[in-house]
Amino acid sequence: MNVGSAPVETNVTRDDGVEDEIASYLDLENPKSFFLFAGAGSGKTRSLVNALRHIATKYRDTLRLRARHVAVITYTNAACDEITRRLEYDPLFVVKTIHSFAWSQIQGFNSDIREWLRTNLQTEIADLTAEEAKGRAGTKASAARLASIESKQRRLARLDEIKAFTYNPNSDNRERNALNHSEVIKIFATFLLEKSLMQRMFVEKYPFLLIDESQDTNKTLIDALLTVQQAHASRFSLGLIGDTMQRIYLDGKENIESALPPGWETPEKVLNHRCPKRIVRLINAIRSGADEQVQEPRDDAIEGWARLFVFPVDTLDKPAMEDGVRAYMTTLTDDAGWSDRDQCKILTLEHHMAAKRMGFEQLFEAIAPIEAFRTAFLDGSFAPSRFFTHSVLPLVTATQRGDKFLATKIIRETSPLLSKDKLKGSEKPLDQLRTAQAAIDSLMSLWANGEPTCGAVLENVSGTNLFVVPDGLKAALAASRAEPVISEDDEEADPVGENIAALLTFLDCPFSMIAPYASYVAHEASFDTHQGVKGLEFDRVMVLMDDGDARGFLFGYDKLLGAKAPSANDLKNAEEGKDSSLDRTRRLFYVTCSRAKSSLALVAYSTDPDAMKAHVTQSGLFNEDEVYLGLPT
């Protein structure tokens, strides 16, 4: 028995005080804004929910009396649902994703939105007109510009007819009066910055605003909110919850922690409640390349496993190697879950490998390198690819399967040929149905000669008006149609911009690449990336890293894990404090490794396995006996 001996010390309650600290900032009389420093698995969601419960307990009546609310911005609909559920659907809280929150704030300000759009469209048209004047007539670039100018002018000309603007955060917003996703954020940020009345109304309505995953929240909006906070510091508390090491989207604010205005509080959580001790040591070592934050595992955590398997980059049957790794992990950890692929979470650090293995590499290579397109393309919201994944593909799949009922439903819901206005205005609705059927038949006839390209599909759909073609694709279509009547010199002197060039390459891809791309971005594939597993946790995690597949684009495991020396450019970026491919890879590596609750197997295909092993052991990421060159027998 233990009678008389000192109580066993444990660290598991070590961060409990942080919740009290946060509660003390959420004071209506003397509000403070804060940035919570907390790494992976530190229980940020729990802290957020506890903070909100504190507000409800202390201020519910006071807030309700003046119809005030507490706002929470989360990253995904799933996170919204989870937080709302944990708060028992309490109407005091307005929990929304960033787009739906922004829209809820600007909805109804129709004349202000109209003027914003007018100015914006006029500026865009003026810029394109100036480019056209400098460029050469008759080129593909010129055709794309003229098509863009035309669609923007059409939108501008119709602005005054629009009585009420609409927006749906979960759809494609193809109606004439609809705003698109990025407009909603920009308009909200501009209104917050330029309309002092809106600022005052905002802080009156929401004295507390907490943002989850703040590291990935659109930087224009974060900057606008920081300005609002500074202007109303005595009446408004802004709480940023997130982890800078887990910033994975390029439109998140870089170094948010060093841009905090004066007077901000910076509470800190140290414990990792999710990962075993071995994995906490590994993610601390990974993180040490970026900042000073160090986590502690829970005293009662298991030791767990982290192993690195390195294969040559030109290994022929990579999936077979990975099966071998799982078999080895089954024995090592005595955990049969490893032998069932579906019970392991297999993650790639980047998308290129998944694109290659799933068969949409050409599509990926066309669009993903373009910074302006990348984020939306990878989360599936990019209008040109969504046109194919959400309009054309479901119809083609249903028709190929012979599912007439579904095909008709899709057309009724989405085709302009059967829109309510069209049907109302038609004397013979049956004719409209025939026209729609003829358009479907025409589209499906493309498959008579083998798999069509995306461009052929687009050309067909645009000709029959079966679906509304997004503006970006209209410009690319115009460029692809431009006859080569003018000289090569002109094309060289006035080449298409990188955006149109990328879309033209996209249109050259076979349409068969759309289905695997669609399933990848919907996270239905067995592969997933850091983006799909944000905030989640799994018992067994396998991370695949292959620079041969990544083509060095944006990534560099070989550099991160030491098989290759950093380039002169990397060193220059580091010196200037700029975000480099090394920094990005490190963050993705951190996010993926920190998902593991029990064991972690890293699989790297390297140009120099020996150098990689030497580096990871010398740098303290792994012990000698945790790294295997080839499959251990």
Min CB(433)–ligand ATP separation in Å? 50
Q: How far apart (Å, rounded) are the C-alpha atoms in residues 203 and 514? A: 45
**Of the ranges 43-51, 54-62, 494-502, 561-569, which one interacts with ligand ATP (CB under 6 A)?**
43-51
Min CB(535)–ligand ATP separation in Å? 4
Min CB(223)–ligand ATP separation in Å? 23
Q: Are 165 and 179 in contact (CB under 8 A)?
A: yes
Q: Are 555 and 605 in contact (CB under 8 A)?
A: no
Long-range contacts of 400-407 (CB under 8 A, 24+ apart): 400/444, 400/447, 407/440
Rule CB under 6 A: is residue 45 a binding residue for ligand ATP? yes
- Binding site listing: 38-45
- Binding site listing for ATP: 38-45
Question: What's the start-to-end Cα distance of the chain, in Å?
Answer: 46
| C-alpha distances out from residue 491 to 131, 481, 497, Å | 14, 14, 11
**CB nearer to ligand ATP: pick between 508 and 537:** 537
**Of the ranges 33-41, 127-135, 453-461, 539-547, which one interacts with ligand ATP (CB under 6 A)?**
33-41
Q: Which two tokens stand for residue 307?
A: 């192993």
Rule CB under 6 A: is residue 40 a binding residue for ligand ATP? yes
Look up tokens 């905002």; give the residue: 202
Q: Are 75 and 212 in contact (CB under 8 A)?
A: yes
Q: Which two tokens stand for residue 99?
A: 């787009």
Rule CB under 6 A: is residue 38 a binding residue for ligand ATP? yes
**Of the ranges 41-49, 190-198, 555-563, 575-583, which one interacts with ligand ATP (CB under 6 A)?**
41-49
The correct pick among 273, 287, 357, 474 for binding ligand ATP (CB under 6 A) is 273
Q: How far apart (Å, rounded) are the C-alpha atoms in residues 427 and 149? A: 35
Rule CB under 6 A: is residue 564 a binding residue for ligand ATP? no
**Of the ranges 38-46, 319-327, 417-425, 611-619, which one interacts with ligand ATP (CB under 6 A)?**
38-46
Min CB(469)–ligand ATP separation in Å? 39
**238: helix, coil or strand?**
strand
Q: Are 344 and 328 in contact (CB under 8 A)?
A: no
Look up tokens 């290994």; give the residue: 315
The correct pick among 140, 232, 247, 274 for binding ligand ATP (CB under 6 A) is 274
**CB nearer to ligand ATP: pick between 213 and 547:** 213
**CB nearer to ligand ATP: pick between 246 and 348:** 246
Rule CB under 6 A: is residue 76 a binding residue for ligand ATP? no
Q: Which of residues 238-267 bind ligand ATP (CB under 6 A)?
A: 243, 246
Q: Are 632 and 328 in contact (CB under 8 A)?
A: yes
Min CB(14)–ligand ATP separation in Å? 9
189-228 footprint of ligand ATP as x/- string (CB under 6 A): ----------------------------------------
**CB nearer to ligand ATP: pick between 86 and 205:** 86
**CB nearer to ligand ATP: pick between 19 and 365:** 19
**165: helix, coil or strand?**
coil
Min CB(41)–ligand ATP separation in Å? 4
**CB nearer to ligand ATP: pick between 173 and 246:** 246
Q: Which of residues 591-620 bind ligand ATP (CB under 6 A)?
A: 594
**CB nearer to ligand ATP: pick between 100 and 246:** 246
Q: How far apart (Å, rounded) are the C-alpha atoms in residues 559 and 576? A: 19
Min CB(36)–ligand ATP separation in Å? 9
Min CB(221)–ligand ATP separation in Å? 21
How is the beta sheet containing 596-606 ordered, strand by strand? 528-529, 345-348, 538-546, 596-606, 305-312, 627-629
Q: How far apart (Å, rounded) are the C-alpha atoms in residues 615 and 213? A: 32
Q: What is the 3-state secondary structure (H, E, C) of 498-561?
A: HHHHHHHHHHHCEHHHHHHHHHHHCCCCCCEEHHHHCCCCEEEEEEEEEHHHHCCCCCCHHHHC
Which residue is nearest to ligand ATP, using beta carbons?
A: 43
The correct pick among 18, 44, 55, 503 for binding ligand ATP (CB under 6 A) is 44
The correct pick among 46, 58, 200, 219 for binding ligand ATP (CB under 6 A) is 46
> 247, 155, 241, 158: which is closest to 470 by C-alpha?
155
Q: How far apart (Å, rounded) are the C-alpha atoms in residues 526 and 537? A: 16
**97: helix, coil or strand?**
strand
Rule CB under 6 A: is residue 455 a binding residue for ligand ATP? no
Rule CB under 6 A: is residue 83 a binding residue for ligand ATP? no
Rule CB under 6 A: is residue 535 a binding residue for ligand ATP? yes
Alpha-carbon dihedral sign for residues 150, 151, 156, 158: positive
Min CB(592)–ligand ATP separation in Å? 11
Q: Are 581 and 279 in contact (CB under 8 A)?
A: no
DSSP state at residue 265: B
> Dmax over Cα atoms in the chain, in whole Å?
96
Min CB(610)–ligand ATP separation in Å? 33
Q: Are 549 and 606 in contact (CB under 8 A)?
A: no
Min CB(479)–ligand ATP separation in Å? 43
**Of the ranges 23-31, 35-43, 383-391, 621-629, which one interacts with ligand ATP (CB under 6 A)?**
35-43
Q: Are 246 and 591 in contact (CB under 8 A)?
A: yes
**CB nearer to ligand ATP: pick between 271 and 518:** 271
Min CB(365)–ligand ATP separation in Å? 30
Q: Which two tokens stand for residue 66?
A: 């003046």
The residues of the shown chain that bind ligand ATP, judged by CB under 6 A, are 38, 40-46, 243, 246, 273-274, 535, 537, 594
